Structure 1
Amino acid sequence: MGETAEALRAWAKGMYATEAAVELLIRANLGVYASAPWIVPTGDSRAALDPDALLDGSGAWSGGERRLVAIVVSLLGAEPVNLAEALPGLDREHLDLLLAALAHAAGSHEHSGLVTDETGRPTGFTRLDTLYPWPAASAAH
């Protein structure tokens, strides 16, 4: 998965929602392998995701995995997902990953906050931590 994951990350770089979708798939260990029909080489050291092929190819996966894939596809800007249907079927591990993905897609890792002096007067800005960091990789992955 290493080279394929890095190729996908390179393709997504700079597009927060796409980065979140790719990272969510990678960290959930869902379908990120070199011969996956939804991973399309781009002719350089990158590889793109084909959201339609990903949706079509996830049919044999568990209900929770298919729900997560539907969210990934929506983050890629393809088929909108019905969160009322997708969220209740996620297990705790996938929900943890999804919360981090949503924080990333919203750009919370790039937010800044106002710094003030002891009188409350603004003195500058500081980079804030992400609202919800990516969880540490589990031993299973």
Structure 2
Amino acid sequence: MVSPEVEAHTEQHHADLRFWAYGDRAREAATELLIRAFSGQFATPAYPWIVDGEYKPAVDFEAIEGNLQGLLKKERRLLVLAASIGRGGVRIDLGDVIPGLDRTLLDLVLAAVAHLGVEQHHSSNLLGGTDQQTAEPPPLHWWPA
């Protein structure tokens, strides 16, 4: 069981990462993948791609590809996908990456791709806001709970 202090710190860290990514659709989608996949394990400062930004923690998507040793195949697949979406210079073949993902991870990938392709007003959903002030259609695929 996680203590309330650790849980609050983790939630704040994730909020800080989301704040850093806000406004850049690719960074938002890739950062959200890191936060939501594998219980947020790969969005922690324990990994070299989580770095100190100017004011908040940030993700160095370019650092992911060179730091995958010792990880499970499905972890590596999700991480290179996040690096590719986050403009980390990683070129992937979706035909090689997608078949190795389970349903939970695939659901996250679908949400990331949908997020990447929708209009800017839907970014407020990641920061806890709403987009009820617009009559625009909802995202094609919501982020899973």
Normalised by the size of structure 1, how large is the TM-score?
A: 0.78
Which protein is bigger by CA-based radius of gyration? 1
Unaligned runs of 5+ in 1: 112-124, 137-141
Identity of aligned residues (%): 38
User: Comparing both structures, which one devotes a greater share of its residues to helix?
Assistant: 2
Aligned to 1:121: none
Match among 44, 60, 65 for residue 33 of structure 1: 44
Q: Deviations over 1:50-98 (max 9, x none)?
A: 1232222222221111111111010111212110110110011000000
Unaligned runs of 5+ in 2: 1-9, 123-133
CA distance in 2, matches of 1:108, 1:98: 18
CA distance in 1, matches of 2:105, 2:95: 16
Normalised by the size of structure 2, how large is the TM-score?
A: 0.76
Question: What SS class does the counterpart of residue 112 from structure 2 fall into?
Answer: helix
Aligned to 2:27: 18
RMSD value, Cα: 1.9
User: Comparing both structures, which one devotes a greater share of its residues to strand?
Assistant: 1
CA distance in 2, matches of 1:30, 1:95: 17
Aligned to 2:11: 2
Residue-pair matches, total? 122
* 1:55-134 equivalences in 2 (<5 Å): 55-77=65-87, 78-107=89-118, 110=121, 126-134=135-143
